[in-house]
Structures are given as C-alpha cells and as structure tokens.
Structure 1
Amino acid sequence: MGQREKQKAATKLHILHSAARHLKTVGLTGASVSDVMSTAGLTVGGFYAHFGSKEDLADAVVRHTMTERRLMFLERFKGLEWKTRLRSALREYLTPAHRDDPANGCPLSMAAIEALHTPATASAFKEEFERFSQAFEAGQGVTGASAPREAAIGTLALMIGSMILARAAGQSAASDEILEATDAYGQTALEGFARAQRPPQAKAKR
C-alpha cells in the first residue's frame, strides 16, 4: 500500500471514529454528514471520497464498532471457561462507570436503538449481533464446552436491555438498582445453566 492509500485509509478510519462517537452518545439518526465531519475536523467535501452516502457510513460504523468491541471481549476473556467468561462480561458491563461514559463504552445498546429507526443499520446490527453471540458461545483460546446458546444470547440481551434502561433513568438510585438487579439475576441464571450442564455424579458403590 502506497503512502496515498495509507493516508486515505487513515482518514476513513478517522471518520469512522467520529461517527462512532455520535452513534454511542446521541445516535446517528439525528446527526448529519456535516456533524460527523466537523467532529473529525474535516470538511464535508471530503466525505464522498470514502462513503457514497450517510447510509453507507451508518452501515460501516455499526460493523466497525461492534467488531472492535467483540474482538476486545475475546482478547480480555481469552482462555476462560464459558461460565466465568459470561459472568465476567456481565459484571464489567453493568457498572455506573460504563453507564456514565457511553462515548468510550460498548456500542451495542445504541446500535440496537439505531437499528430500530434506521433501515441502513438493521442488517449490519443483525449480522454483527450474531457474530457477538457466537463469540459469547465459543470464546477464544479455550478448551472444553462452549456456552449454551441460550446463555450467550440471554447474557447479551440482559446487558443491552439493562444499559438502555439504566441510561434512560440517568445517574440515579433507580438506575443503579437496574444495573445491580440485572447483574444479580444474570449471575444466578448462569449458575443454573452451569448446573444443568454438569454430568450427574456416579452413584457410590455400596
């Protein structure tokens, strides 16, 4: 790749990072191309050298941010057996610190909302959510059983739904309670899934 191509790729990534900030904080629906480019410190004229339309950008940024977060998850919980992996994901996700810093957090909750309102992102969200589900099932660099699919999808659903509700409630006691209750419920549910997967103990010989 030549210097010009490298610069073009770097600029495109810069635009994606700017769009990701809008996606995670206020959503892309109400953001214009001018808003995204202004946040990136670039002119609107340069946008179309990288994307054909705002819809193309919306599709790309959902895929980019969800892939980035999925790979971060896989690396962080590398080598852990499935129950520990999913329990850790819940515990680290459902925190006031994450709730209060959406710009540097996971895009899943806002991407889900965006998919409801923007057809351009619906397909991207569906496909990337499936990849996320598979990552929660199989993990990375671990031997042994995969997580039950119901546990993987259920954990993701708890994380996304709880974060949407907690942010809607703002920084309040009610919001904190939502996070704490969801984490407690999820941990208990995962224990139940783990018990169901354990082979029955052999009866002791008399």
Structure 2
Amino acid sequence: MGHSRVEKAASRERVLRVASRKVRESGLAGPGVAEIMQEAGLTHGGFYKHFASRDDLIAQAAAAALTERPVEVEELAGMGEQDRYAGLVDSYLGREHRDSPGTGCALVTLGAAAGRGDQALKEAYEKRVRGYLDLLGGNDSEEARAEAMITLSALVGATLIARAVADRTLSDEVLETVARQLTGHC
C-alpha cells in the first residue's frame, strides 16, 4: 500500500530535519544517507523517493539549517534593543550553544563551506547574515551597521574558536572574554 502525499511530505521533512542537524554537527561532507535515513526512521531504499541524490539532500539540508533560527533568537526579536543585544551575546556565546552545534547557528559550522559553495548556498548564508545584522540594529545608521558587523563577526568567530580548541578552559575563556568585551562588562 502506498503512502499518502501527507505521509510522504512528513517523511521528507523528517529527513531534512535530521540532515540539517547533521550538517551543523559535522559539515557538508560528514553525514551519510544511510545514517540520516536510519535516524529519520526510514529505510535507505526510500531515499530516492524524496531526493535526487545525496548532494541534493545536503544542499537542501544546508539551506534549511541556514533558515532555521534558534528559539532564543525568536524570543530576542521582541525585546528592547539593549536587552536584545545582551541576550543575543549571552545566548550565542553560552556553553550550551558551543556544546550543541546540531541545534545551534549554522553560520558557525557552514561558513567555510558557504565560502566554497555554490550560489544557492552563498545566498542562503547571506540571508542569515542579513537577518542577524537586522536583529542587531544594523539598518539604523552607518555606525550601527558597522557595530552589528563587528558583533556578528565576534559571535561567530568566538564560537568557532571555542568549539575548535581542545582545552576546555581556553574554550570557556574565549566565550567569556568576548562576551564581556561585547557587552562592556569588565
């Protein structure tokens, strides 16, 4: 008996959610089709009912990862400017974000891949960058835009470094120091 369109769409979404998380955890080269399908609760044989190829899935998963905003960011959008800024810095440079790349911001994990990627990936990455710049008040003035760009670069760079170093003490120090510098708390 065949699957309904609704079931097929739900299965496809489940595969994309798993692949999106896997892409954020291990980059574009990391996740395999069998692993993704198994985690999505589907058989490997059903893969081609949903995607033309692994490359098609990974491209769609990367785009999905870049369009998803963490819940914390959604909550920050409704706050006043000062609270939003401090909240974003605290959330982005928190240990939970560092330790959970699969559910964190894809700007950190997909930056290098987007730089080498195709036009669609670059555009998806750019859209997420612009979204954060807007959230940081980057459209208010030339000075505000410069501040937003510096802040976003510091957030992404500090998180990348904190995830990449082996020494947990240094990792924590990077997060704490950059957060302190950005929020002006010495």
Report the TM-score, using the length of structure 1 for normalisation: 0.74
Query: How well do the aligned residues superpose, as a CA RMSD in angstroms?
Result: 2.8
Higher relative contact order (CA 8 A, sep 6+): 1
Which 5+ residue runs of structure 2 have no aligned equivalent? none
Rounded to whole Å, the distance in 2 between the matches of 1:91 and 1:179 is 9
Which amino acid in 2 is paired with 1:129?
Answer: Y
> 1:139-178 to 2 correspondence within 5 Å?
139=135, 145=140, 148-170=144-166, 172-178=168-174
Deviations 1:121-174 (A, max 9, x none): x534432333223323434xx9x9478222333222222211111111246110
For the 8 Å contact 1:94–1:180, the answer to whether it is kept is yes
> Is residue 90 of structure 2 the alignment partner of residue 94 of structure 1?
no
Q: Does 1:11 align with 2:11?
A: yes
Distance 1:170 1:8 in 2: 42
Tell me if structure 1 keeps the 8 A contact 2:72–2:91.
no
How far the C-alpha of 1:83 sits from its partner, in A, is 4.3
Does the 8 Å contact 1:162/1:182 carry over to 2?
A: yes
Counterpart-to-counterpart distance in 1, 2:111 and 2:167: 21
2:68 alignment counterpart = 68
Residue 180 of structure 1 is matched in structure 2 by 176
Deviates more, 1:172-181 or 1:97-106: 97-106
Q: Residue by residue, what CA displacement relative to the aligned partner does 1:61-88 show, whole Å, maximum 9, x if unpaired?
A: 1221221116x46531233344432332
**Rg bigger for which structure?**
1
What is the match of residue 38 of structure 1? 38
The percent of aligned pairs where both chains have the same amino acid is 32
In the alignment, is residue 130 of structure 1 matched against residue 129 of structure 2? no
Q: Give yes or no for the alignment of 1:112 onto 2:111.
A: yes
Cα distance change of structure 1 residues 74 and 109 upon mapping to structure 2, 3 Å threshold = closer
- The superposition leaves residues 3-26 of structure 1 with CA deviations (integer Å, 9 ceiling, x where unpaired) of 822111111111011112211222
The alpha-carbon distance between structure 1 residues 133 and 87, as it changes in their structure 2 partners (threshold 3 A), is farther
- The one-letter amino acid paired with 1:88 is G
Deviations 1:72-105 (A, max 9, x none): 4653123334443233211111011221222332
Report deviation, 1:187.
Answer: 2.3
Distance 1:138 1:164 in 2: 22
The answer on whether the counterparts of 1:86 and 1:155 sit within 8 Å (CA) in structure 2 is: no
Q: Which amino acid aligns with 1:108?
A: L
Corresponding letter in the other structure for 1:98: H
Aligned to 2:50: 50
Q: Give the superposition deviation at 1:116.
A: 4.9
